[in-house]
Amino acid sequence: MHRDSSEKISWEIIKKALFPLILFVLFLVVYIFYKIKLVCYISQEAQAGLKKYVITILVLIVGFVFQRITGAVSAWYKDNIASQTLTRLDDELIPLVRRTAKVLIWIIALLIILPFYGINISALITTLGVS
């Protein structure tokens, strides 16, 4: 891999992940403010409810970051590696791999989130394993 192409992939990843990372930092600042200033005024029941919403938002932001990074890496691969090969197989498989990766990222995020809302995911995991 050339130095220019590695710099290009780094820049593409940063460019694609910048918005979700800004969301993550903003969310972290709000959460720290909540923990320092507001937590003493909120009841234990409300804190437990807020905890599951905070984790949900955090998992969604992390999933969004991974989705954007996956898209940037696959776009870089398509532009720099697949365009130089003689076969068209990788040109046709890259969109399939990209979509499959996005679906897997969101399935994993959903499997992380659902137990916080009292949903048993064992049957869902079994179904996903069979399929």
Cβ-Cβ contacts under 8 Å for 125 (sequence gap 6 or more): 111
- In terms of Cβ atoms closer than 10 Å to its own Cβ (0-12, 13-18, 19+), residue 57 is middle
Which residues of the chain are modeled with pLDDT < 70? 1-9
Confidence (pLDDT) at 8: 66
Taking alpha carbons only, the member of 34, 49, 21, 42 closest to residue 117 is 49
Q: Is the pTM of this model over 0.85?
A: no
Confidence (pLDDT) at 6: 60
Confidence (pLDDT) at 1: 47
Confidence (pLDDT) at 43: 85
Confidence (pLDDT) at 101: 93
Rounded to whole angstroms, the Cα distance separating 99 from 27 reads 27
Rg value, the chain, Cα: 20
